[in-house]
Amino acid sequence: MNSRTQAGFTLVEIVVVVVILSIFAGIMSLSVGSSESRKNRAFYEHLTDSLSYVRLLSAERMQPMGLRMQADRQGQVEPVIVTLSNPYVAYQTTNMTPDSIDSQPKNAMELSAEVAGLSGSTDEQKPTPSWEVESGVSLPELPTGVSIRVQNLDSSGLQNTGRTQTLQPWFSDQNVPQVLWFGTGQAAPVTIEVLHDSRLVGEVITIMPDGSMRIGQGL
């Protein structure tokens, strides 16, 4: 008898191949998802550690510092730590008489409120401090799909943070950092959310008015 050679695959073989491919695809998906989750979590923990460090650094220097979302040359928005450069520049460049010097030491907020009242040369423009990127504190690049959302908890806004003090433009204009420590141990109260595709990564970070940071707790 002549034997016939069977061509093609049987249904069982096709089903087995499909099952194997499905298992392989599932393993790859879990691996990619796990790696993505680890990157997002690592960024979250780096951010919270950096904010704690910036708070201590701001109080130690008595210098306003903050976190701001800033676009790079490619147009990508990244979080950066900024410092108010030379906040006492007006005191250093203005001629003051001994009678005008207050014997009581002043903090950064009080100094910033008095800069506008200093009398220098009327023909010369008064120097204005500016916000500069702090090279000593770096944040990692935002992972793909991750964004940071900051919400101000002070309903009265930054203008009333100093109560009776008149705050200078670098504390109230559009260039002010979204997260701000005043250099006095105090901060503008905000919540910070790290989001991945609109889903929360970690817990909500709350910056308290006293400058401290709480994880997963509000005011």
Q: Please indicate, yes or no, if residue 138 is contained in any of the structural domains.
A: yes
DSSP, residue by residue, 61-108: HT--EEEEEEE-TTS-EEEEEEEES-TTHHHHHS---GGGS-SS---H
Q: Is residue 177 within 8 Å of 84, Cβ to Cβ?
A: no
Q: Please indicate, yes or no, if residue 125 is contained in any of the structural domains.
A: yes
| Domain total in the chain | 1
Q: Please indicate, yes or no, if residue 4 is contained in any of the structural domains.
A: no
Amino acid at 200: L
d(CA 130, CA 101): 25
Burial label for 179, CB within 10 Å (0-12, 13-18, 19+), is buried
How far the first Cα of the chain sits from its last, in Å, is: 90
Per-residue pLDDT 10s for the chain (219 aa) are 455 555 666 777 777 777 777 776 666 655 555 788 888 999 999 999 999 999 999 999 889 999 998 887 777 788 999 999 877 665 555 444 445 445 454 555 555 555 444 444 445 566 678 899 998 888 888 888 899 999 998 754 444 444 444 567 777 776 889 899 998 889 999 999 999 988 899 899 999 999 999 998 655
Tokens at 216, concatenated: 């997963």
Q: Please indicate, yes or no, if residue 160 is contained in any of the structural domains.
A: yes
Q: Is residue 168 within 8 Å of 90, Cβ to Cβ?
A: no
Other C-beta atoms lying within 10 Å of the C-beta of residue 49: 10
Q: Please indicate, yes or no, if residue 74 is contained in any of the structural domains.
A: yes
Q: Is residue 65 within 8 Å of 54, Cβ to Cβ?
A: yes
Q: Identify the domain containing residue 172 by its residue range.
A: 11-97+106-215
Is residue 177 helix, strand or coil? coil
Q: Please indicate, yes or no, if residue 6 is contained in any of the structural domains.
A: no
Q: Please indicate, yes or no, if residue 185 is contained in any of the structural domains.
A: yes
Q: Please indicate, yes or no, if residue 82 is contained in any of the structural domains.
A: yes
For the chain, helix (H) and strand (E) counts, in that order, are 3, 8
Confirm whether pTM is higher than 0.85.
no
CA dihedral 208→184→126→176, nearest 10 degrees, is -20
Q: What is the pLDDT of residue 193?
A: 94
Query: What CATH code is carried by the domain that includes residue 36?
Result: 3.55.40.10
Can you say how many angstroms the Cα of residue 172 is from the centroid of all Cα atoms in its chain?
17
